Structure 1
């Protein structure tokens, strides 16, 4: 394994969405994602940087920290929520920037204490309008993660309802599930399933050849399915005005809390 990749893993993934609100519609696409420790962000060799980069503005945590980096940004955010990891490990699952472009529908941070116990999960959601939003998640007594929906994602779904999430930290397999309920009914189910493959030059070259411009392909696939929903006759729900819902505002989505 290359030295730059020792602290990272790649996951070859399949993403599925099934919506049952108003009109049943399903989508599926393949991609690959990165998992790494925020204390050891992969430094991809210069000849490969068009295939994988991690820019300072790709995540909200980096925005908050300026040039201080992702780790400082997450610690700063958690401190604002009265959480101190005391140096505990933070793992991030995300897409890399490819050919100067990145789009992350969902990035997930698993935040641990020094003993390795999971303290919380931060789910960062990006929409295709340039908005970004974080949900701070803590397990309920049944181990599930729950949050009120407070961010505009799909133009065909209201900013309403409640998420139930299953986001176990990846191991050999990646298996994430997000359910959205509206008016007591299941409106959307999204899953990300994948298998870990070792990071390294040969692996990265192979995945880039299999999935060229992978993050752009994700973004285009979302737009294409939006066109298909329009053709099915679904109405667009206007975005909330910026002063009523700020996409980049940090929210604490503990059970029972609504921003």
Structure 2
């Protein structure tokens, strides 16, 4: 059934994108651009993936991103948090920037979007928290959560790939975006160890791309999807086992992820040995400390035809 849904999704996207691409010249003449203000910074770089177990497989591809100042952008991308929503979630008081691949000719493909949430302290702007939006392929489900950009460990809360189970944790790190930006995510697995790493390295586009940026991002989401599907086929060819979506076998996987993440946060707050002893002897954590270390995760269901 999922293969049928995938075929429907591909055909629908192809038809829609073809029609909208043919209409682009008329849009330039008749419509206001969707991305046309100075609050958008453009980046171009490379996404790199490496899987080390059970087989070695690595690849890289060129990608283009936009960094939106959500307080100033006149046309922020749809289906994302507002600046105020992000500030409430991150408990910050400064500007919020969203790094994402904007939709192109009716299609969106963002394995990872990041919100950079700043604080103002003593008139100094400091990057305090990031919000990650992780979207899986091909289903299009999404999970959003806070993390510390300097370094953080987060329980895996989404079935991001049919070639990965739900047992790992995500080690995450992101620098403050400037002329360069860098994001690294690695998977810490209880059996396979540190077996997978993905990174984004990009530089700010210094050449002038004036006016409507639609041409800069034309078919960019489609290219990302093509790379994902092509290398999924290669993994299948290398006999990496397919893992069904946990909603079919373990509907409580989200709650289990939250419990694992609570343990991670408590271990970070108390120290690993102390937290382990508390768990082993059936004692309880201090309620205030536990509350402060519970990570808020928000899930978005799959769009049509996957739901």
TM-score norm. by structure 1 comes to 0.77
| 1:123 maps to which of 126, 132, 149 | 132
Q: Within 5 Å, which residues of 2 pair with 1:1-259?
A: 4-43=36-75, 54-55=77-78, 57=79, 59=80, 61=81, 70-76=82-88, 78=89, 83-86=90-93, 88-115=94-121, 116-128=125-137, 129-138=139-148, 143-183=150-190, 185-198=193-206, 200-201=209-210, 204=213, 207-208=216-217, 212-241=218-247, 243-246=251-254, 256-257=264-265
Whether contact under 8 Å (2:37, 2:73) holds in the other structure is no
Q: Does the 8 Å CA contact 2:153/2:172 hold for their aligned counterparts?
A: yes
Structure that is richer in helix per residue: 2
Which has the higher mean CA deviation after the structures are superposed, 33-42 or 22-31? 33-42
* Pairwise CA distance, 1:159: 0.9
Do the aligned partners of 2:66 and 2:102 also contact (CA within 8 Å) in 1? yes
Cα distance in 2, alignment partners of residues 219 and 31 from structure 1: 11
In structure 1, C-alpha distance between the alignment counterparts of 2:259 and 2:210, rounded to whole Å? 38
Where 1:113 maps in the other structure, the secondary structure is strand
> Alpha-carbon deviation of 1:112?
1.3
Quote the offset at 1:207 in angstroms.
3.2
Q: 1:255 to 1:178 in 2, by over 3 A?
A: farther
Distance 1:36 1:98 in 2: 16
Distance 1:89 1:250, change over 3 A: farther
Structure 1 Cα separation of the partners of residues 38 and 260 of structure 2: 33
- Greater RCO, CA 8 A, separation 6+: 1
Larger Rg: 2
* Gap regions ≥5 residues in structure 2: 1-34, 266-293, 296-307
> Number of paired residues?
225
Cα offset, 1:154, TM superposition: 1.2
Secondary structure (helix, strand or coil) at the match of 1:221 reads: helix
SS in 2 for 1:118: strand
Deviations 1:173-197 (A, max 9, x none): 1211111111262111111111101
Q: How big is the shift at 1:256?
A: 1.1
Contact 2:135–2:143 (8 Å) recurs in 1: yes
Structure 1, unmatched stretches of 5+, are 44-52, 62-69
Change in CA separation of 1:251 and 1:100 when aligned onto 2, cut-off 3 Å: farther
Q: Is the 8 A contact 1:147 1:255 kept in 2?
A: no
Q: Summarize the Cα distance change of 1:250–1:31 in structure 2 as closer, same or farther, 3 Å threshold.
A: farther
- Residue 93 of structure 1 and its aligned partner are, at CA, apart by 0.6
Change (3 A) 1:144 1:201: same
For the Cα contact (< 8 Å) 1:136–1:254, is it kept in 2? no
